[in-house]
Chain A
């Protein structure tokens, strides 16, 4: 396997592929900073440079990996050189893995200097004498840093039908006192289950479904439950005028003293039901109510105008995290909507979070580049898999098709939302009747979205440009999802097809036996 890997790398070097790629990467790394137009701040410029440089590097190396993956095997099969390797005492799996390893060596050869160049270039920019101390500090604290995030615990919006049914019956009784079991039931229900208890038809539908579990009854029941979940989530996310919301972030008490040495940040994004373009809105925040540390002083709120539909980071004072007693590490964020008309919406997936310093930019960049490296591994495996049984041009076409589908998640999600690909009722935004074609499309779209999320969901570019930590755990799960699971499946299929391949067929259109 190793000699084949070395030979694959040697081929890329001898055919000047490495030189061409190195020149292209040099142009990206040193050229993009000259072209980028930012918001005028040092932070904005560095964030854009990081985003574009890493994005372009990923795209270029991705295409190169695909090209190499498709070319190295398919061309050797077409040129019959592979016959000379296959008659030697190596298994087809070893040949396949050797080729993959060779491409990964090539990627490493290109990525290491590229990563180092990005690191030193960005640091040189941050140290530029043109920047004042404030900008330098902002860069160091908000971009060229590794900051961990703390979110609220995930809220439970699940529905247990039997529990919801029993609770709805209990509510219907309108009792004033409860037994111990009833009290336990009351304490265990989730938000959606609580909402269902106000729907008189819910208990009736549950009873009907037990005696007559027809599709119609079940569909109605599920619709009720979906509505309850939606309402429950909305009541958490939407803050109406005059209402407030409190989020609690628990930081590990063991690191509070260390965290309090540097500023922490409140990161959030909100929507305000703006009809067209995002607009600025006034927000009122208070930190640390009911704890030993407060900001601003008791009974007041920090007022700020911020644009909707964009992420914002508010620097909180150094030492704001409570460092004593039971509330050690607890950061309580209170938001008040004092607007007269507009509701303010904090979607859970964008939910507010606390960012705190936990490391340097270099190691974070290293972890981010490793995730990109995993992507390249998967892309090259897809190319190799396709070329295991297809000619070079067809394999390239197929691999590009796979990548394009995986990148078009918007279309796939739309198919799922609209309940298929045919005839949508524009009033409801959903299909009236589903066909077999719709069912097949939804099945395919759901599978593709799941796979795509497992691959691209670990995107390190945003985290790096926002100075957010890519944890070792994230790195491990990225490796597991991208290389072990997805890569493993692609490799298994590719190696099997290559094992079946007759390498001396007289022409490429002849089939396998």
Chain B
């Protein structure tokens, strides 16, 4: 999917927040190196305060590095022509509350010097795409959080950007909206767009990202493709068509003889992203790495807890730590297979100049969607 063209390059990227007197207050980002290539969906993953948003804001020119260097399309993030190729959805709705949907899209479109007719066409398509066709005359200030995310996404795409920066794009969205956003990301990547996805929602990153960088305390803890990150290096999985009992025994005997170990099991040794993430954070914590963000607070505050609350907390903890094979629901809800809601034709119309997608994109997308569906099915007991 990705090409060798570097879209974002950061070397020794460091950001120190200082107080009024110039004293260092927090090392938000500490000597980070990374590159993002064209066509990639690149995930920034980390707990609160790990430096994700700071990196995003440095690559948008909203914060300036204290040390190190970051370039976007080989230019400074503040380069005006470069900014014309970027779309940005912030983590909160930073929109003019007194403008309606049409005016919002039109205003941001006008900053890209798109002519008024083209702006109207694009606004029309985008507003329909994000499902706000019935609310286009309402002021953004009246919108629910989810609706604000949708209009925020629409404005981020008005210029048909080559690089889309999405900060917590699914926050505040309902499950359908989340699915739509993920489908949209995959579609954009399919069209050769580069997507930066900053999130602490592991499923989001796992579902759509080609590569991810896991941050903690402003430093990179792990980085690689999703398959590299998720592979369990201490076990080998052999995938084969269904084997007969005899064949299985032969294979097991051969492996036991070869490894000299009886610890050979037939199962599916996968590690999910969530456990990987938690392991990394735990390891970092054990190494007592500094973080200027939140750390896990294992205790419920005393004034909130009380005795009853303590019992309730224990029950909740028991419930959460119950083995997977102990179903908690009498009957699993029926899950409908998610349908793709993004109108590909409209998107294609928005980005006539976009480069042709690479040949191997479509199968990957299918693979990702299937994987997401499998996961959803598994979680909901389908």
Contacts and interface: CB of A to CB of B under 8 A. Distances in A.
Contacts, number: 85
Contacts of B108: 84, 88
B72 to A, nearest CB: 11
B285 interface: no
A451 B194 CA distance: 53
Interface stretch (A7-15, A263-271, A282-290): A7-15
B112 A88 contact: yes
Nearest to B77: A87
A503 B22 CA distance: 17
A11 B61 contact: no
Contacts of A504: 57, 62-63
B111 A89 contact: yes
B: contact size bracket: 35 or more
A505 B107 CA distance: 25
A79 B96 CA distance: 10
A88 B103 CA distance: 16
B281 interface: no
Interface of B: 17-22, 25, 57, 60-66, 80-81, 83-84, 86, 88, 90, 92, 94-96, 98-99, 103, 107-108, 110-113, 155
24 contacts: A3-B111, A4-B111, A7-B96, A11-B98, A14-B99, A79-B94, A80-B90, A83-B62, A84-B94, A84-B95, A84-B155, A86-B61, A87-B61, A87-B62, A88-B83, A89-B81, A89-B113, A502-B64, A504-B57, A504-B62, A510-B19, A510-B25, A511-B20, A513-B65
Ranked 8 nearest A-B pairs via Cβ: A504-B62, A14-B98, A3-B110, A88-B111, A89-B84, A504-B57, A80-B94, A89-B83
Nearest to B23: A511
A390 to B, nearest CB: 12
Interface of A: 3-4, 7, 10-11, 14-15, 79-81, 83-91, 502-506, 509-513
Contacts of A85: 111
A113 B62 CA distance: 41
Given A83-B62, A84-B95, A502-B62, A511 B22 contact: yes
A3 B62 contact: no
A87 B99 contact: no
Nearest to B25: A510
B170 to A, nearest CB: 19
A451 B254 CA distance: 95
B319 to A, nearest CB: 36
A81 B96 contact: yes
Contacts of B84: 88-89
A266 B242 CA distance: 116
B353 to A, nearest CB: 16
A14 B80 CA distance: 30
B165 to A, nearest CB: 8
B66 A15 contact: no
Contact of B80 (A15, A89, A505, A509): A89
B96 A11 contact: yes
Contacts of B111: 3-4, 85, 88-90
B17 A510 contact: yes
B80 A83 contact: no
Contacts of A510: 17-20, 25
Nearest to B158: A88
- A contacts with B: majority SS: loop
Given A81-B95, A90-B80, A511-B22, 5 more contacts: A3-B110, A10-B98, A83-B60, A84-B108, A510-B20
B19 to A, nearest CB: 6
> Which of B57, B81, B99, B113 has the most A CB atoms < 10 Å from its CB?
B57
B98 A15 contact: yes
Contacts of B94: 79-81, 83-84
B17 A506 contact: yes
A210 B65 CA distance: 61
Nearest to B49: A506
Given A84-B108, A511-B19, A505 B63 contact: yes
Nearest to A13: B98
A83 B156 CA distance: 12
Contact of A91 (B18, B65, B66, B80): B80
A509 B108 CA distance: 29
B95 A10 contact: no
Nearest to B85: A89
A7 B107 contact: yes
> Which of B62, B94, B98, B113 has the most A CB atoms < 10 Å from its CB?
B62
B96 A511 contact: no
Nearest to A1: B111
A7 B140 CA distance: 15
A513 B66 contact: yes
Contacts of B18: 510-511, 513
A472 B90 CA distance: 51
A85 B61 CA distance: 12
Contacts of A11: 96, 98
B88 A87 contact: yes
A509 B61 contact: no
A417 to B, nearest CB: 40
Given A14-B98, A84-B90, A509 B19 contact: yes
B96 to A, nearest CB: 6
Contacts of A88: 83-84, 108, 111-112
A89 B112 contact: yes
B92 A84 contact: no
A84 B88 contact: yes
Nearest to B111: A88
Contacts of B113: 89
Given A14-B98, A505-B63, A513-B66, A80 B19 contact: no
Given A15-B98, A502-B63, A509 B88 contact: no
A505 B17 CA distance: 8
A80 B152 CA distance: 13
